[in-house]
Amino acid sequence: MIKLKNILKEFDFGDKLFADDAYGSSSGPYANLVSRMYNGKYEKDTKEEMALWSAIQDYLKSAKKDGVSARRNDIKELLSLKKRFPQMLDPATDISAGETIFRGMTAELDKIVEYIGQATRIHNWGMDSRWIMLKGVQATVISRSNQGFISATHKSRTAIDFAQMNQKNTRYPILATSTYSKVASRSIIAPSFATVLAGYDEGEFWILGDTIESQNLILANPAVYGRYSSKEEGGGSGGILTAALKEKGYIVDRHM
């Protein structure tokens, strides 16, 4: 049993984390995980512990933010348990120190134009030229959510899907990147544990805090994802970003 207390109080926990048999009875994969971790032994959770487990699952499975936002302090306390329960809490279980991690997101067009101007090199990224690497851009990525952590992934496809999904007229898809070693000390949730809770593999883990530093940025190619008002005006996200890239010597192929 583990009791998650207020951050200002002594942190008191028992032998097992999230090991209630109520979880295993409804999920074969979860029962298998607990069996491997605790040799098949369960332990009744407190109400607080069960509420936190449910909040984490709701976020991973359905992107519900209210539960995790209400338990920011408890989630932060999980960092101190990462070494004790690595199969659940340590992303290094599944991610190597030098591996690239991604944050799929959107940014305002004027900010992306600034990033293009800062790039030391611009080249195609990926197998089909649908994304463009802005090499050398150092950017501070700030979460717009108030949940106490930033979701990230070691799977580029997941980040791409998330960035595309949130594209709007004034916000355009980008991927922030870093190496895992730069965020490891404040990262929790093993991606394989997230898969067990969510039911699908997105390679997700969490970085505590509201910011991360991106070493390079990856931009959705405006020839594919841009929106053009007209060729003459060069307006819309397509026209604005195409012009900024052209100024840096990268020519966007509108016919790709």
- Domain locations in the chain? 2-81, 93-247
Q: Taking the chain, what is the end-to-end CA distance rounded to the nearest angstrom?
A: 58
CA pair distance 142, 109, nearest whole angstrom: 16
- Angular region, 110: left φ>0, alpha ψ -120 to 50, beta rest: alpha
Stretch (H or E) spanning 103 = strand 100-108
Give pLDDT tens digits along the chain (256 positions): 555 554 444 334 567 899 888 876 667 888 889 888 998 888 888 888 888 999 999 999 988 999 999 988 889 999 999 999 999 999 999 999 999 999 999 999 999 999 999 999 999 998 778 999 999 999 998 887 778 999 999 999 999 999 998 888 789 999 999 999 999 999 999 999 999 999 989 999 999 999 999 989 999 999 999 887 765 556 789 999 999 999 999 988 765 5
